[in-house]
Structure 1
């Protein structure tokens, strides 16, 4: 009986650790990414957050209505998305169209709460903030509809995550896409803390 109880407790603890690993990694990584982001801005170089990282911070994304701010990484491959959302298109100053993808169960779980008119802010490495307003959110089936990033007008911001939000199955063909347009509000570097809501 004691062995069975010990086996049950060990199995439960193991499952708990595996279940919390991705969310825990996402939170801890953002702390290290904050340091790398500060170095990127100060030196205007691509500073990796840890020696073996295959990505680096390229922007800061703030969603004031959700009281949320996070570092955005270069690229959208699976390994980097475990640590933060990834920027698929856009340049260092976040000009042109910007597409950012993130996991639905960590960094982008709050996207479902964004509504038309909500503000989203994006800071480039130059320290400047750009303000966007949510135009719409919709579900896209990736099997039948592709987002042509070349056709997006300048000043467009797309935030993309898997859908549905409460699914336990990884991946799947459905994507939740939030589309926002630049609103013209730009903030100087000195207003970083106020603008980001941090």
Structure 2
């Protein structure tokens, strides 16, 4: 009986730790990515968050006034998306960012039409956006065509539904935002010596 309980306890522990691995990795990585973002801004060149990283910070994205900006990585391959949202390269003047629905992009489900978003590019410039469309598409029938987006638009992509246990489902949740003038954020925090405008 003791051996059975020990085996059961160990199995439970392994499953529990495995279930927490991706969310914990995502949270811890954002701290290292924040440091790499600060270094890339100071040096004006890409800085890898850890020596073996195959990606680097290229932007920051703020989904709500009361949330910390997310570090956006270069590329949308599985290795980079495990650590943060990724920017799809080669989309012209439009910006396409993908992220996991159960970590960094879980907040997309709370966005509504008219919600403000902010995006900071690699030159440190903040761009303000307003959500203009939210829809669910079937990736088997409708492919993502960034060239069809209006110039300067922002498209956020994640898997759908948010509470699904199937990580390979075909549905995608799309949030499209258009550029607008500066949005008066309620949050007036300042960090460091320089005014970071957030």
After TM superposition, the score normalised by the length of structure 2 is 0.90
Work out the CA distance in 1 between the residues paired with 2:65 and 2:156. 15
With a CA cutoff of 8 Å and minimum separation of 6, indicate the structure with the bigger relative contact order: 1
Contact 1:156 1:181 in 2 (8 A): yes
Mapping for residues 116-155 of structure 1, pairs under 5 Å:
116-155=113-152
- Among 149, 157, 180, the alignment partner of 1:183 is 180
Work out the CA distance in 1 between the residues paired with 2:149 and 2:165. 31
- Residue 186 of structure 1: how far off its partner (Å): 8.2
Structure whose residues are more often strand by fraction: 1
Deviation track 1:75-98 (CA, whole Å, cap 9, x = no partner) reads: 00011100000000478xxx8200
Mapping for residues 1-198 of structure 1, pairs under 5 Å:
1-65=1-65, 67-89=67-89, 96-185=93-182, 190-192=194-196, 195=198
SS across alignment from 2:104: coil
Structure whose residues are more often helix by fraction: 1
Change (3 A) 1:112 1:65: farther
Deviation track 1:84-126 (CA, whole Å, cap 9, x = no partner) reads: 00000478xxx82000000000000110110011111001121
Matched pairs, number: 190
Work out the CA distance in 1 between the residues paired with 2:154 and 2:33. 22
After TM superposition, the score normalised by the length of structure 1 is 0.90
Q: What is the RMSD of the two structures over their aligned residues, measured on CA atoms?
A: 2.0
Runs of 4 or more above 4 Å deviation: none
Unaligned 5+ runs, structure 2? 185-190
Unaligned 5+ runs, structure 1? none
- Residue 170 of structure 1: how far off its partner (Å): 1.1
> 79-88 or 138-147: which moved more?
138-147
- Residue 68 of structure 1: how far off its partner (Å): 4.0
Contact 1:156 1:182 in 2 (8 A): yes
